[in-house]
Amino acid sequence: MRKGYFGDFGGCFVPESLVPPLQELEAAMAKFLPDPQFQAELSDLLCNYAGRETPLTFCPTLSKRLGLNLYLKREDLLHTGAHKVNNTLGQALLAKRMGKTSLLAETGAGMHGVATAAAAARLGLTCRIFMGADDVIRQAANVRRMKLLGTEVIAVESGTRTLKDAINAALREWVVTQKTTHYCFGTAAGPHPFPLLVRDFQCVIGRETRQQMLDRTGRLPDAVVACVGGGSNAIGMFHPFVDDPSVRIIGVEAGGTGEPGCYHSAALGRGTPGVLHGEYTMLLQDRNGQIEPSHSVSAGLDYPGVGPEHAMLQATKRAEYHPVIDRQALAAFQALCHEEGIIPALESSHALAWVLDNPGQFAKGANVVVNLSGRGDKDMDIIRKELGI
């Protein structure tokens, strides 16, 4: 396999000025990630600061209704409310080892921004977060959380004033601050080596799930299911099962409103190959290669591209990817609230929705694990608008 590639996808399509910091990062990964002291320090942070290991929760009511055994991997219980902190603690610790004094990051819904701000505060790094100007308004509560954690939030006024433009602005900023600053990228996408780095830190999800299922049921799960935005929580769950052919791997993309012509954040379902944010991958783009604005009720899935490893897993048919529309995700959200007493993030509700709406896809009594990537507290304003609750 070519370095930095997953099959045909991935690579490192960046301006010359970003080659040195990416090479520096690659060298630091080779030096520090295998270091037992680095791993021990990270493991201590994950356990005693972030709250690992996360539980694997059996859902008795929904299981009965579906005729299968439904388990949830509870990343929603982590500090700052989602799986993002697995990655930001890892990258912040690596940045310290590299002698950097600052973190720089992009954020869409604000969850990666909050997780980065917390990791920076904990490890004594300064922090600047780039966020689309529209998102700054829409996600005001997360902006306040970042500020409370001592982070500077910069509103990006260019383009669609959302995540795509925040990433462009952050990459530009990195060109001038690379000496002192690590770019803490938020998902398993972007230029090499970020897809590998983020996967490395998120694989703790799948490794724990594997052991928990073996302890509880004596065998591997029949299927693992996760939502796909950029693809970090999904690849963290999937990667440790890729070499187990008995485990079905299912990614769920945001299908938007479901109206004809609006099928919107499903880069794998209806995208075409192209280059965005330094990688060659599947993208939502028009015939001229212009990126189409994505739309979903869940801001965290609103990314027009996808990590290169998912593009490969789809091309090789090792994993399958399906769209779920807003209405299905909202119904799954309500079902989990009412029937299991858990308020999930709208992103995670997409993964759950595909299982709830397709029980016939599984054998009777199959053991199915859904990655509950985050909690729903951040979505209360949207829920009020959509469901009137």
Ligand X SMILES: *Cc1c(COP(=O)(O)O)cnc(C)c1O
- In one letter, which amino acid is 151? T
The H or E element spanning position 226 is: strand 223-227
| Binding flag, residue 4, ligand X (CB under 6 A) | no
Q: Whole-angstrom distance between the N-terminal and C-terminal Cα of the chain?
A: 51
**59 among known catalytic residues:** yes
Q: Give the dihedral of Cα atoms 353, 261, 282, 132; nearest 10 deg.
A: -80
- 228/284 with CB nearer ligand X: 228
CB neighbour list of residue 111: distance below 8 Å, 6 or more residues apart: 80, 81, 82, 84, 142, 300, 374, 378
Q: Enumerate residues 6+ apart whose C-beta is below 8 A from 370.
A: 70, 71, 72, 73, 225, 226, 348, 351, 352, 355
**Within positions 283 to 302, which residues make up the interface with ligand X, using CB under 6 A?**
300-301
Say which residues have a Cβ less than 8 Å from residue 341's Cβ, sequence separation at least 6.
Answer: none
User: Residue type at 345?
Assistant: A
Enter the tokens of residue 305. Answer: 């591209």
Query: Of the listed pieces 25-33, 160-168, 224-232, 362-370, which binds ligand X according to CB under 6 A?
Result: 224-232
178 vs 197 by CB, closer to ligand X: 197
Q: Which of 57, 232, 294, 314 touches ligand X (CB under 6 A)?
A: 232
50 vs 69, which CB is nearer to ligand X?
50
Measured in degrees and rounded to the nearest 5, phi and psi for residue 129 equal -115, 125
The CB-of-295 to ligand X minimum distance in angstroms stands at: 15
Name the residue with the smallest CB distance to ligand X.
Answer: 374
Contacts with 183 (C-beta within 8 Å, 6 or more apart), sequence order: 21, 103, 104, 105, 170, 171, 174
- Measured CA angle at 12 (ends 159, 283), to 5 deg: 50
Q: Which of 181, 212, 281, 348 binds ligand X (CB under 6 A)?
A: 348
CA distance 204 to 236: 7
What is the distance between the alpha carbons of residues 307 and 253, in angstroms, rounded to a whole number? 12
Does 277 qualify as catalytic in the annotation?
A: no
- Residues 130-149 touching ligand X, rule: CB under 6 A, are none
Binding-site string for ligand X from residue 82 to residue 101, where x marks contact by CB under 6 A and - marks none: x-x-----------------
374 touching ligand X, by CB under 6 A: yes
Pick the binder of ligand X from 345, 353, 369, 383 (CB under 6 A).
Answer: 345
- The least distance separating ligand X from the CB of residue 371, rounded to whole angstroms, comes to 9
* Per-residue contact flags (x/-) with ligand X for residues 245 to 284, judged by CB under 6 A: ----------------------------------------
Is 110 a binding residue for ligand X by CB under 6 A? The answer is no
> x/- site string to ligand X, residues 151 to 190, per CB under 6 A?
------------------------------------x---
233: contact with ligand X by CB under 6 A = yes
The angle formed by the CA atoms of residues 158, 264 and 74, to the nearest 5 degrees, is: 95
Taking the C-alpha atoms of residue 201 and residue 115, their distance in angstroms, rounded to an integer, is 14
Q: Which is nearer to ligand X, 69 or 311 (CB)?
A: 311
Which range touches ligand X (CB under 6 A), out of 16-24, 206-214, 231-239, 334-342? Answer: 231-239
Which part of the chain contacts ligand X (CB under 6 A), choosing from 26-34, 55-63, 160-168, 227-235? Answer: 227-235
Residue of 79, 83, 295, 350 marked catalytic: 83
Closest contact distance (angstroms) between CB of 107 and ligand X is 9
What does the binding site for ligand X look like in residue numbers (CB under 6 A)?
A: 82, 84, 111, 187, 227-234, 300-301, 345, 347-348, 373-374
